[in-house]
Amino acid sequence: MLPDPADIHRRYEATKERIEQACIKAGRSVDGVTLVAVSKTFPTDFIRVLYNLGHRHFGENKVQELAYKASFLRESGDCGDLHWHMIGHLQRNKAREVVLVADVFHALDSDRLAEELNRRAEAADRSLSCFVQVNISAETSKHGLGPDDVHAFITRTAKFERLTVVGLMAMARPVFNPEDVRPEFAKMKNLLDSYPAHDNPRADLKYLSMGMSHDFEVAIAEGATHIRIGSSIFGPRAGMVPAGDMIGPDRVA
Ligand SMILES: *Cc1c(COP(=O)(O)O)cnc(C)c1O
């Protein structure tokens, strides 16, 4: 069941209010937190509702869906200045598409993918800002680099002149109480801050993409700069496990 536009408007304002409160509590400026509205599975009409409220940052986890929505909206002429965040795992054969349609890629997690993205970006005369995905809760996530491998990986990306590593991204375990994943978020902040900058002067490590509908307040408290929020704004997606039913690492939304 899809919510109607008035619902989206109300949910969006309520979500922004929660973000503001979380920032106040953490003693942070709300300007330091970018809300990426995750529109996956929802129609472009829903994106337009947010666009008309002044929102510009949108995220998709499948490159085909992102490409379709971006070109549909661009061609309809009224939302040309969107910032598209590709937030999902990427196969190398889709690298070209990402380079063409995404402004930011949140899931860089291998040398081969970095090499292919760089090659495609060069061919298209584009450049791409990337977050390195970290597998911070090794038990559940299939994607992302192990925390111990992250620094060496960032150093190796120095040779890819079309890519700029701007930060780290993680998905925390789906838990009933978001407080349980606070240590994972804290570990991410620590990984970001402890990278020896001189090892890769081309990297510009300043952002942390972490926090989703269920846990963004804790993520903000631990330093998130980009929170990726879908269901809090757009409503539940088909087949989604409600947050209250997430009882442990073996239940995945
Ligand atoms: C779907 C998705 C989100 C948003 O999830 P919600 O729980 O709906 O807020 C965030 N990040 C990634 C990588 C996703 O795939």
Q: 125 alpha carbon to ligand 1 midpoint, in Å?
A: 30
**In terms of pTM, does the model score above 0.85?**
yes
Closest CA to 118 of 128, 109, 108, 110: 128
In tens digits, what is the pLDDT along the chain, a chain of 253 residues?
A: 556 888 999 999 999 999 999 999 999 999 999 999 999 999 999 999 999 999 999 999 999 999 999 999 998 887 889 999 999 999 999 999 999 999 999 999 999 999 999 999 999 999 999 999 999 987 666 799 999 999 999 999 999 999 999 999 999 998 999 999 999 999 999 999 999 999 999 999 999 999 999 999 999 999 999 999 999 999 998 877 655 444 444 444 4
Q: For ligand 1, is residue 137 a contact (CB within 6 Å)?
A: no
Q: Token digits for 207?
A: 């952002």
Amino acid 238: pLDDT: 81
Q: Token digits for 209?
A: 């993409």
- Rounded CA gap, 192 and 178, in Å? 21
What is the bridge-based pairing of β-strands 128-133 and 163-169? Answer: parallel
Of all protein residues, the one whose alpha carbon is nearest to atom 5 of ligand 1 is 230
CATH of domain 5-235: 3.20.20.10
Q: For ligand 1, is residue 120 a contact (CB within 6 Å)?
A: no
Q: Are 174 and 139 in contact (CB under 8 A)?
A: no
Q: 228 alpha carbon to ligand 1 midpoint, in Å?
A: 6
Q: Is 142 exposed, middle or buried (0-12, 13-18, 19+ CB in 10 A)?
A: exposed
- Rounded CA gap, 208 and 53, in Å? 25
Q: For ligand 1, is residue 141 a contact (CB within 6 Å)?
A: no
* Residue 212 CA, closest ligand 1 atom number: 9
- Rounded CA gap, 201 and 87, in Å? 25
Q: Are 118 and 157 in contact (CB under 8 A)?
A: no
Closest CA to 39 of 54, 27, 55: 55
Q: Token digits for 48?
A: 């337009």
Q: Are 239 and 253 in contact (CB under 8 A)?
A: no
Condensed to tens digits (0 to 9), the pLDDT of residues 96-121 reads 999 999 999 999 999 999 999 999 99
